[in-house]
Structure 1
């Protein structure tokens, strides 16, 4: 068993899951375990992740009977993991953030002894961030609102789907169900701020610019989800005030 377990939520990912990349990682990797969560898929996702889980004892699969959404799927997996792990992370199944990048984030968490490390899609001169222009600008507007009016921590990119969290902290932050479907990352950080304080978050939450990130397309976020954002913001303001 490795010291870090990365949760990969999967809902109808049969056409997008990068089987060969996961296979190569599983066969070569001993420092990180993978935990695939089938979130009530209706396609061939279950069989695909079962095949991956059979490749190594460092790879597990959890099958949920019905679709509960990414936030709750990750939460259910966190609740299942025991204290043999020192860190728990999560990663999108389409590998928009690569397995090599999650390895790098994990190494940074270990080296710097940081309990909360999160990837950030910052386009710098030495990074390759492949993001559609429309998605970039809409993302920046949402992220600016989130940090200015909700978090107030100077965080650039709450919604990047690659994070590494110390085991006990993860157990605490994921203990209760989330109030929103798409903004659960915001709720995670807000829970840390309310439970441990702003100074703790400024010292212990580290945002790392990703070297590479690729916009795979076919996002699970729909136009309806975007339209519901004001309602989600209201839920967060009301619940965490």
Structure 2
């Protein structure tokens, strides 16, 4: 039995192809409707699975090609994140056999395929036990790493990408002096399509590591959103997935995690660090002119269009780049629009990890670095157009 799967996002096609092959089906994939039409003639499939939301030419054109142009009666399944009733009705009127709404599990997809065309040949390999979820969006996550050999929770990262097909993790080795790079390459083995290791030979600080990682991931055409997360998982991956769900169902350009203590959440900080954080947050709010509760949480996700605005230029400081991102948003969009585009979302869990690279002494330095940011990011208005006055020499 042959299955042709058409979707523009590789992170959707890869797990689908692997699972169907494990079940004994012969599989061909295509990244566009044009490729799908060419493969249809060459491959002679018994089933076509097609996404609707494909750039340039919509997936419904593939359905029309099969049903109206070549007048084939082979089963057609739609696998799409589009839930518009009008489109769904149109698909059924054209003669599709099933409409599957993302997100959904590979187990469910497998069961529907079997119902339509029967089982594949006896599996040559053991079927994956992980019930992977096919997401309706694809997300890149940048994880800066500096001397994380002993703290990197590799299994938590690999288990997550095994269960969530729509994620691509980019670990940035920021000139580590221990065996972090070796640990990252080991973590990547067997998951090369879902895990990237970006190596910086010299330590440039967290800000530069995140910046380079974000710019690198912006080159991946199939990603809808890109974010960053701390390597120690003080914010865990399930909370990050909640940030993703918020941005994909809203008009926000950035969704930022917030470590606000509240009932039902596990938020822990050292008492001294908490006092300093409150002081720093007060200063940040004054500088930004925005009522942020927590700019410095290391978990943020953003629309790809924000990447050039926020990351094209180097940051002034090694740690306070979050503040600079929001300053750049304010300067680009104006204060009112920027505040409407940025959402703070309380986390369910945030645990201060032992071995944090930011010392109490560094926390004191932050106050002076904030003054530097406030001085260099001065907004002047000329015909109501915000202009950024930034120092030529970056520290």
* TM-score normalised according to structure 1 size: 0.95
Residue 83 of structure 1: how far off its partner (Å): 5.1
Q: Displacement of 1:19 after TM fit? A: 1.3
Which of these residues, 44, 59, 62, is aligned with residue 179 of structure 2? 44
Counterpart of 1:10 (choices 145, 158, 167) is 145
Quick check: 1:23–1:55 contact (8 Å CA) kept in 2? no
Matched, 1:202 2:339: yes
Distance 2:226 2:267 in 1: 25
Q: Deviation digits for residues 205-237 of structure 1, max 9, x if unmatched?
A: 000000111111221112442232233122212
**Cα displacement (A) at 1:113:** 3.4
Partner of 2:278: 140
Q: Is 1:67 aligned to residue 185 of structure 2?
A: no
Distance in 1 (CA, whole Å) between partners of 2:190 and 2:354 is 28
Query: Which residue of the partner structure matches residue 109 of structure 1?
Result: 247
C-alpha distance in 2, partners of 1:142/1:6? 27
Equivalent runs, 1:81-100 vs 2, <5 Å: 81=217, 82=219, 84=221, 85-100=223-238
- Give the TM-score taking structure 2 as reference length: 0.59
List aligned pairs for 1:178-189, cutoff 5 A: 178-189=315-326
User: How far apart, CA to CA, are the structure 2 residues paired with 1:228 and 1:131?
Assistant: 19
Per-residue displacement from partner, 1:26-47 (whole Å, max 9, x unpaired)?
2222111100000011111001
- The 8 Å contact of residues 227 and 299 in structure 2, kept in 1 or not, is answered as yes
Contact 2:215 2:307 in 1 (8 A): no
The corresponding residue for 1:164 is 301
After TM superposition, give the deviation of residue 114 of structure 1 in Å. Answer: 1.7
- Which residue pairs with 1:217 in the alignment? 354
CA RMSD between the two structures:
1.3
CA deviation digits over 1:61-111, x for unaligned, max 9? 101111000000111112222151221100000000001111110111101
Out of 76, 80, 84, which is 2:212 matched to?
76
How many pairs are equivalent?
Answer: 240
CA contact (8 A) 1:121 1:213 kept: yes
**2:166 pairs with 1:28:** no
Q: Which has the higher contact order (CA 8 A, sep 6+)?
A: 1
Higher radius of gyration, 1 or 2? 2
Runs of 4+ residues deviating >4 angstroms:
none
State the alpha-carbon separation in 1 of the partners of residues 263 and 250 from structure 2: 24
Q: For the residues of structure 2 that align with 1:124 and 1:225, how far apart are their CA atoms?
A: 27
2:50 corresponds in structure 1 to none
Over residues 139-181 of structure 1, what are the superposed CA-to-partner deviations in whole Å (9 max), with x where a residue is unaligned?
Answer: 111111110x211211000000000011111222101000011
Alignment-derived partner of residue 127 in structure 1? 265
Q: Are 1:6 and 1:89, in contact at CA under 8 Å, matched by a contact in 2? A: yes
